[in-house]
Structure 1
Amino acid sequence: MAALPIYRWRLAPDGLATRRQLRSLGLRPGGQDVVAQLERPRRRRGPLVAYLYLVDRALPVRPMTVGRTAALAKANAARRWCPACRRDAGYVIPASLGMCTPCAYPDEQRVA
């Protein structure tokens, strides 16, 4: 397999875009292979890498259907549900806690 061309930050040629850039244009990679890499240097760790795709081979983003909208709403509602007290927390429960704030810190809630 041939190595991918590597471009420095902000120096990629026209006609190439990252996934986010494609999405802002209303496009998606559409199954095409990565054609190049974009590297942004960092001081303490290795460079940040973004993959580039051809804009002219990108496909339009698929529209949201009724079923996909319902599934997304159900998934977002599940992220608000506390497994400890079995209530809707009213916000997305942090993954670091795994439960709503009153359940995670019961002593601090009594003091207030």
Structure 2
Amino acid sequence: MFELKKLVSALLMPLPAMLILGFLGLLLIMFTTRRKFGSLMVLVSLCGTFLIAFQPLSSRLLMPLERQYSAFLPINESIDYVMVLGGGHVVDDDIPPTSELSRTSLMRLSKVFV
């Protein structure tokens, strides 16, 4: 059941949904007599993919989610721990801690202390 839920949720994402729509349109064009409908499906798929990837539109769609949470403002209290999510690291005692982080993690960590 868990695998089915993950599969269905992945297929409902915009890019896979547009690709599936395009492939279904191509199948209609190649194997049936409904070529006009298949062409329309391919056109909708390509236009949808373009609109999803179009930066002004995608930024406008993401803006409410990005503004939902306020930025971290420095406080006078000391900070004991900082958790940097979504990065990589290596564990090596011979190199300094900042060299253990991946470039992405180091950039995210530097944003916390700026």
Query: Is the TM value for this pair above 0.5?
Result: no
Greater RCO, CA 8 A, separation 6+: 1
Q: Please state which band the TM-score falls in when normalised by the shorter chain.
A: under 0.3
- Structure number with higher strand proportion: 1
* Larger Cα-atom Rg: 2
- Structure number with higher helix proportion: 2
